[in-house]
C-alpha cells in the first residue's frame, strides 16, 4: 500500500498523454518499508488464524498513500513475527489515493512482502483529467510495473478504456 503503485501505473498508462503534451513522466521511488497504520471503528483478532479484521470506515496509510474501505482483513506473522503483515484484503467501496492519483474498485489485496496490489471490480484510475477503466489492476511496487485488464464489468465489449487529455499548451500542429 505504498503511494507509488498508483503513480507507477499512471506513469506507464499516461505515456500517450505525456507524448501528446511533450512532457516527461517518471514514477517516484517506492519505499516498501514504510510503516502501515490502520484506523477503524472495530477490530476483531483471531490469534489462531493469525488474522485481524478492521471494520467500519477503515483507513490504512503507508507513507503518503491512503486506502479506505468498509473492511480490511490483515494476515500477519507467518514470515516475520507478530508485528509483520503478510497481506491486507480490503472489501467494500475500496478507494486508494496518493497526492497525484486515485483508484477505486470493489476489492483490493495488498501482498506486503512482494509489494503487489491487486484492485478488482469496476476499477477506475484517475490522474488529473485522465481516466482508465478496467476490471482488474495489478500494481507491482517492487519493480514499478502495472497491468490493467478488461472484463465483464468494464462495458459491452469488456475492453480496457482510457481517456487521455493533453496538457494545455501542447505541441502546435
How far apart CA 50 and CA 146 sit, in angstroms, is: 30
Evaluate whether residue 173 is within a structural domain: no
CATH code of residue 78: 2.60.450.10
pLDDT of 16 above 70: no
Evaluate whether residue 172 is within a structural domain: no
How far apart CA 95 and CA 69 sit, in angstroms, is: 6
pTM over 0.85: no
Cα torsion for 138, 39, 59, 41, to the nearest 10°?
110
Evaluate whether residue 170 is within a structural domain: no
Evaluate whether residue 16 is within a structural domain: yes
pLDDT of 31 above 90: no
Domain extent, residue 93, equals 4-28+37-163
DSSP for 83-142? T-EEEEEEEEEEEEE-SSEEEEEEEEEEETTTTEEEEEEEEEEEETTEEEEEEEEEEETT
Counting the structural domains of the chain, the total is: 1
54: which 3 cell numbers? 478492521
Evaluate whether residue 130 is within a structural domain: yes
Which helix (H) or strand (E) covers residue 20, if one does?
A: helix 15-21
Evaluate whether residue 141 is within a structural domain: yes
Evaluate whether residue 151 is within a structural domain: yes
How far apart CA 12 and CA 41 sit, in angstroms, is: 36
At 145, is the pLDDT very low, low, confident or very high (cuts 50, 70, 90)? confident
Evaluate whether residue 150 is within a structural domain: yes
- The answer to whether 71 and 55 are in contact (CB under 8 A) is yes
* Residue 126, CA atoms < 13 Å, CB-side half-sphere: 11
- For the segment 71-110, what is each residue's pLDDT rounded down to a tens digit? 999 998 755 555 578 899 999 999 988 777 889 999 999 9
Nearest to 14 by CA among 100, 83, 108, 122: 100
- The answer to whether 119 and 140 are in contact (CB under 8 A) is no
Amino acid at each position: 500500500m505504498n503511494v507509488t503503485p498508483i503513480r507507477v501505473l499512471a506513469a506507464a498508462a499516461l505515456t500517450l498523454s505525456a507524448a501528446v503534451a511533450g512532457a516527461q513522466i517518471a514514477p517516484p521511488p517506492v519505499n516498501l518499508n514504510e510503516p502501515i497504520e490502520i484506523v477503524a471503528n472495530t477490530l476483531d483478532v483471531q490469534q489462531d488464524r493469525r488474522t485481524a479484521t478492521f471494520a467500519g470506515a477503515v483507513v490504512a496509510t503507508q507513507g503518503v498513500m491512503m486506502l479506505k474501505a468498509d473492511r480490511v482483513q490483515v494476515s500477519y506473522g507467518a514470515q516475520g513475527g507478530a508485528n509483520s503483515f503478510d497481506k491486507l484484503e480490503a472489501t467494500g467501496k475500496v478507494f486508494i489515493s496518493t497526492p497525484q492519483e486515485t483508484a477505486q474498485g470493489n476489492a483490493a489485496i495488498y501482498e506486503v512482502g512482494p509489494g503487489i496490489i491487486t484492485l478488482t471490480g469496476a476499477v477506475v484510475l484517475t490522474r488529473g483529467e485522465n481516466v482508465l477503466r478496467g476490471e482488474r489492476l495489478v500494481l507491482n511496487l517492487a519493480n514499478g510495473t502495472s497491468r490493467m485488464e478488461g472484463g465483464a464489468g468494464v462495458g459491452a465489449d469488456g475492453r480496457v478504456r482510457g481517456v487521455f487529455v493533453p496538457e494545455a499548451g501542447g505541441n502546435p500542429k
